[in-house]
Amino acid sequence: MGFARAVADHRPVDGFITVDGARLHYFEKGTGAAVVFLHGNGSMIGDFVSSGITERAACGHRVIAFDRPGFGYSERPRGRRWGPFEQAKLFLRAFTLLGIEQPIVVGHSWGTLVALALALEDPEKVAGLVLLSGFYYPVQRSCTNALAPFGFPIVDDVFRRTALLFAGHLMASNAVRRVFAPCAVPEGFKRLYSISHALRPSQIKAVAEEAEMLMDAARAFGVLYRELNVPVRLIAGSDDRIVETDKHSARLHRELDTSTFRNVPGIGHMVHHAAPEEVMAAIAAVGKRRQTKTATRSATMRQHCVRRRWLYIGDDCQERESITAAAANSGEQAFSRHASSAFIH
C-alpha cells in the first residue's frame, strides 16, 4: 500500500517512449539546443528537478531528463545486461525517436559512465559532456556500495520487500544525509523527491545490480578514455564522501586533453544541488564549443558548395589569364563556355 500511495502521489512529470522493448520515462522542458540529464544509481528524474537545474537549463535549451532503466518510472527488462554501453545504445535510439540532435549530456555519479559510453559509442551524436561527481577508475571504495545511496545487502525479492517495510526509510534517511554531506539536505529535495518511490523493490534491485557491476565497468573504461574526442567538463566537490575526488575526477582530467576540471570547495557529492551555477557555466562552455563547431562546419559546407575546383590542362599562361578575366567580367556561365576547351570540371 505504501508503494502504491507513493506512485499515486508522485506521478510522472512528462512522457514515455518504448525503445527495444524497454519503456523509458522522460521529462522535457524548454526549447533550443538539447541538454540531456542522466541521474546516478538509486536516483531518478526527481533529483534533477528538485535541484532546480532543469528549470535553469530550460531557459534557452531543450532539456530532457531520463529515468534510466529500472529507476523512477522506467522499465528494466529482466534477462538483459544493463551496463553503461547497453544503456548508451538504448538512449541513442531514444534520441533518434525523440528528435534529440547532438545534445550536451550531463551525467551525475553512475550516470557519468552512461554519458561517457554515449560519447565513445557515437561521438558525432554528442556535442559534449558535463560530468558531475563521477566514479571513473577501479579504485577500492572506503564503504560498500558507495554509489548506491540506499545500499544495504540485497539477497532476493522476498528479502527486499520485507527489509524495505521495516528499515528502508530509516536507512534511506541516513544515506541521503551522507550523500549531501557536508551540506544539509535541501528543502526542495525533501519536498519534491519521493523516497518511498526510490525504495520500491524493483528500483532496489536495479541499485544492487549497478553497484555490483561498478568496478568492472570502471576497469573497462580505463583503457578507453583517451579515445574521447568531445569536450568534457568535470565538476566535483572537494568534500565528496561518496567518491574520492582526487582519485577520480582530478585523475580523469589529467588524462583527458579535451577536459577542464572544477573542484568546488566545501561541498559533497550532490554538486548540482550545492553549486548549480557551476553546472550551468559548464553547459554554457560546451554550448559555445558546439556553436563554434557548427558554424565552422556550415562555413566549410557553403564554401565547398560555391567553390568549383578546376584542373588546368594547357601550358599557355596568357590563355589562362584571359579565361580568368572573362570569368570575372561575364560571370560563371561565360567562364564555363570559354574554359570548356581548356579545363576539366
- 304 found inside a domain: no
| pLDDT, one tens digit for every residue, the chain (345 residues) | 343 444 444 454 589 999 999 999 999 999 999 999 999 999 999 999 999 999 999 999 999 999 999 999 999 999 999 999 999 999 999 999 999 999 999 999 999 999 999 999 999 999 999 999 999 999 986 554 444 444 333 334 444 444 444 445 656 788 899 999 999 999 999 999 998 888 888 998 999 999 999 999 999 999 999 999 999 999 999 999 999 999 999 999 999 999 999 999 999 999 999 999 999 999 999 999 877 766 555 555 556 555 444 343 444 444 444 444 444 444 444 333 333 333 223
Cα-to-chain-centroid distance, residue 170: 31
- 338 in a structural domain: yes
**Residue 104: inside a domain, yes or no?**
yes
- The bridge status of strand 232-237 relative to strand 259-264 is parallel
Q: How far apart are CA 170 and CA 314, in angstroms?
A: 88
pLDDT at 333: 43
One domain, residues 293 and 325? no
Q: Which residues pair with 312 in a beta bridge?
A: 343
pLDDT at 67: 97
Structurally, the chain folds into a number of domains equal to 2
Do 89 and 234 belong to one domain? yes
136 in a structural domain: yes
Residue 257 lies in a domain: yes
Q: Are residues 321 and 192 in the same domain?
A: no
Say if residue 59 is in the same domain as residue 107: yes
pLDDT of amino acid 25: 96
Same domain membership, residue 158 and residue 18: yes
Cα–Cα distance, 286 to 298 (Å, whole number)? 18
Copy the grid coordinates of residue 114: 552512461
Both 24 and 159 in one domain: the answer is yes
Amino acid at 248: H
The whole-number pLDDT of residue 22 equals 97
38 and 93 in a single domain? The answer is yes
Cell, residue 207:
541499485
- The answer to whether residue 246 sits within a structural domain is yes
DSSP output for 87-106: HHHHHHHHHHHHT--S-EEE
Residue 186 maps to which CATH number? Answer: 3.40.50.1820
Q: Which of 152, 158, 154, 157 is nearest to 173 (CA)?
A: 152
Are 184 and 212 contained in the same domain?
Answer: yes
Shared domain for 81 and 210, answered yes or no, is yes
| pLDDT reported for residue 291 | 77
The 10 Å Cβ neighbour count of residue 289 is 17
Position 124 in a domain? yes
- What is the pTM for the complete model shown? 0.79
**For position 127, what pLDDT does the model report?**
98
Examine the domain organization and report whether 187 and 42 are in the same domain.
yes
Q: Which letter, b or e, does each residue of 40-58 get, where b requires 16 or more Cβ atoms within 10 Å of its Cβ? A: bbbbbbbbbbbbebbebbb
Please count the CA atoms within 13 angstroms of the CA of 268 that sit on its side-chain side. Answer: 15
Which amino acid, 122?
D
Same domain, yes or no: 289 and 336: no
Which residue from 79, 84, 95, 125 is spatially nearest to 17, judged by alpha carbons? 95
To 10 degrees, what angle do helices 111-121 and 201-221 make?
50
The domain in which residue 293 lies consists of 2-298
Q: What is the predicted pLDDT for the residue at 289?
A: 84
Residue 207 contacts by C-beta under 8 Å, 6 or more apart in sequence? 41, 42, 145, 148, 149, 150, 151, 154
Q: Is residue 303 part of a domain?
A: no
pLDDT score, position 163: 45
Say whether both 130 and 203 belong to one domain: yes
Distances (CA, A) of 111 to 36, 44, 102, 222, 229: 11, 10, 18, 16, 19
- Strands ordered across the beta sheet of 33-38: 15-19, 22-29, 61-66, 33-38, 104-108, 128-132, 232-237, 259-264
Q: Note whether 256 and 232 are within 8 A (CB).
A: yes
Q: Please report the pLDDT score of residue 159 as a whole number.
A: 44
